[in-house]
Structure 1
Amino acid sequence: MRLFIYLSLLFFALCLTTSAYAQDSLAVDTGDTSTLMIQVENAAARTNVRDEAPNLSEIFSMAKIFWALVFLLSGYIGIRVISKILEILAERSAQYRITLKGLIPVVRILGWILVLFIIVAGIFQPPATTILALSASVGVAVGFASQDILKNIFGGVMILFDRPFQVGDKIEVGSYYGEVTQIGLRSTRVVTPDDSLVSIPNSEIMNGSVSNSNAGEANCQVVAEIYLPITIDTVRVREIATQAAQVSKYVYLAKPIAVLFFNEVKDRKSFLKMRLKAYVMDIRSEFAFKSEMTEIVIKALIDEQLINDKDFN
């Protein structure tokens, strides 16, 4: 009986020992398994990172760089050719001159956007993460290095969308007046009456006031001014000036002709300033019409003895 009890106690002790060992073994195995799983996950993550971030030599290979240069050169030539064709067509047609010239800056910007899109998305094909990273880095660097340039570029884009003027318009910005020949991303080029080419930064145009003489139309108003004696017959002068404007080859008769008189004092002497307002069919004839009106009106007044040398002495 005692032997049975001893054997029972021994068996119970062995069972407890075996159970504890099994639990310890299970704990060790679980720990080893967790460590193994973590190592596998880390290896997989490193593999995914390598897969998501390809080598730069694969993105910017020599073949891709070659084709990018080919598309860049082809785009430059194509944009120049299309712009030149539009300029030639605009100069041949006075009616559609402003419209055709207004298409030139739009064609240039859209053309370069298309070329850059083909090069980036079609040739290099970088991952989205690379594009975002490069865009952020370049954006920050360029933003700090060229704030004035970015202001001009933003101004050029706003001019194209807001359209306060377009290529071919006669505008006045600050002390400059002339015809707009080009609207670029950095500046707007204007040809002044003395045939000087002036480049005005787009940021100055957006921050200042702009006077547009024709607002996209082919015709524009021209004002010829002549100083006359205070005692002159204004009725006859108005008739002469109106007739001179009506027979001009430059005049646009669909819009009214007006002759106005104002009193001005120069060197303590009163004069009448006559202002002849009329419209020309082509804005390029502005100064030719003004010169013609001045010559014809003064000659007619002298022939009719309405003015003489004594009136201006």
Structure 2
Amino acid sequence: MDDNPDLARLFNALDRDAWIELALILGGTFVLIRAEQWALPWLANRLHGRARHYLLASVPLLRLVLIVVALGLALPIIVEPSLRNMVALLGAAGLAIGFALKDYASSLIAGVVAAFEQPYRPGDWIELDGHYGEVVRVGMRTVALVTADDDFITVPHLKLWTSAVRNANNGSPVLQCAAAFHVTPDHDARLARAVLEDVALTSPYLYFDAPIAVVTQEEDWGTLYRIRAYPVDPRQQFRFVSDLTVRGREALARIGARPRLVPPPART
């Protein structure tokens, strides 16, 4: 008998019962995946804080588990479950994927890595491949973002191999925001820091359990102030920064701190 397995002999003869069983596995897996993709985000959007992020983060991982279980149930029906057959089948599949679908397969592998390493999760605010937005779905091949302009952007996981991921909250329910102010040097710096801290404390979007910092940096053209604080919900970050910016400029104007709108170019 020839020791080299013939691919034509790897597969079992599928009768009617086998086809029905495969259809049930495929249909059941599809229904369960669609159900968890709808039910978990629906439940998470009615929760707040860490519970919401934990539920959203479990969506891609649970989908991966369902797919692996379905493959584990279907393969023994299609292929005789022996080590020899499995090695031959996986080797042939690997060659086909490697030559025909290299980029697609790379995105799928990166998706598996993303499911375990979790560089981003649903609910995270990330910058990937030049796009910044909230992660709304982590698929097997792509990650979907919704930007501040309400654009829906799909980025393949393949970018994980070549691009850095900037994650603003990294699974946390809080996200730090910063509002910057450029001021001429002829003002009372202590008073300016005090009024900017009051601006943050009186914002309706402020998350009071996180610290507030007013960072001061002296430059050649004047003084740079940054209010660093946290909104109640990461999705309020743009309203929060706008509120800090508008009221911060008004507060600085009241104490005579004049804005330096365009810092001069660096000296050569």
* Same fold? TM cut 0.5: yes
Q: CA RMSD in A?
A: 2.8
Counterpart AA for 1:261: T
Counterpart AA for 2:181: I
Tell me the equivalent position of 1:13.
none
Q: State whether residues 192 and 255 of structure 2, in contact with CA within 8 Å, keep that contact through their aligned partners in structure 1.
A: no
Q: Is residue 79 of structure 1 aligned with residue 10 of structure 2?
A: no
Q: How does 1:134-145 map to 2 (within 5 A)?
A: 134-145=89-100
Counterpart AA for 2:104: I
Q: Is residue 306 of structure 1 aligned with residue 256 of structure 2?
A: yes
Q: Is residue 277 of structure 1 aligned with residue 228 of structure 2?
A: yes
1:156 pairs, out of 111, 120, 123, with 111
| In structure 2, distance between residues paired with 1:155 and 1:127 | 28
Tell me the equivalent position of 2:122.
167
Tell me the equivalent position of 2:201.
246
Please tell me whether Structure 1 or Structure 2 has the larger radius of gyration of its CA atoms: 1
2:217 pairs, out of 262, 266, 271, with 262
Once the two structures are superposed, residues 172-199 of structure 1 have per-residue CA deviations (whole angstroms, 9 ceiling, x without a partner) of 2342222222222222222222222222
2:13 pairs, out of 54, 59, 65, with 59
| In structure 1, distance between residues paired with 2:150 and 2:219 | 31
Q: State whether residues 229 and 312 of structure 1, in contact with CA within 8 Å, keep that contact through their aligned partners in structure 2.
A: no
Q: State whether residues 186 and 257 of structure 2, in contact with CA within 8 Å, keep that contact through their aligned partners in structure 1.
A: no
Once the two structures are superposed, residues 24-64 of structure 1 have per-residue CA deviations (whole angstroms, 9 ceiling, x without a partner) of xxxxxxxxxxxxxxxxxxxxx79xx9xxx59x6x6223442
| In structure 2, distance between residues paired with 1:263 and 1:99 | 41
Once the two structures are superposed, residues 64-109 of structure 1 have per-residue CA deviations (whole angstroms, 9 ceiling, x without a partner) of 2233223212211211112211101211112211111110000111
Residue 280 of structure 1 aligns to a residue whose secondary structure is coil
Once the two structures are superposed, residues 140-190 of structure 1 have per-residue CA deviations (whole angstroms, 9 ceiling, x without a partner) of 111211221222122122222222332211222342222222222222222
Q: How does 1:103-252 map to 2 (within 5 A)?
A: 103-121=58-76, 123-124=77-78, 126-128=80-82, 129-252=84-207
Runs (4+) of structure 1 exceeding 6 A deviation are none
Unaligned 5+ residue runs, structure 2? 263-268
Q: Is residue 290 of structure 1 aligned with residue 244 of structure 2?
A: no
Task: State how many pairs are aligned.
Answer: 255
| In structure 2, distance between residues paired with 1:100 and 1:250 | 24
| In structure 2, distance between residues paired with 1:72 and 1:120 | 12
Counterpart AA for 2:66: G
Higher relative contact order, structure no. (Cα contacts within 8 Å, ≥ 6 residues apart): 2
Tell me the equivalent position of 1:88.
42
Q: State whether residues 170 and 180 of structure 1, in contact with CA within 8 Å, keep that contact through their aligned partners in structure 2.
A: yes
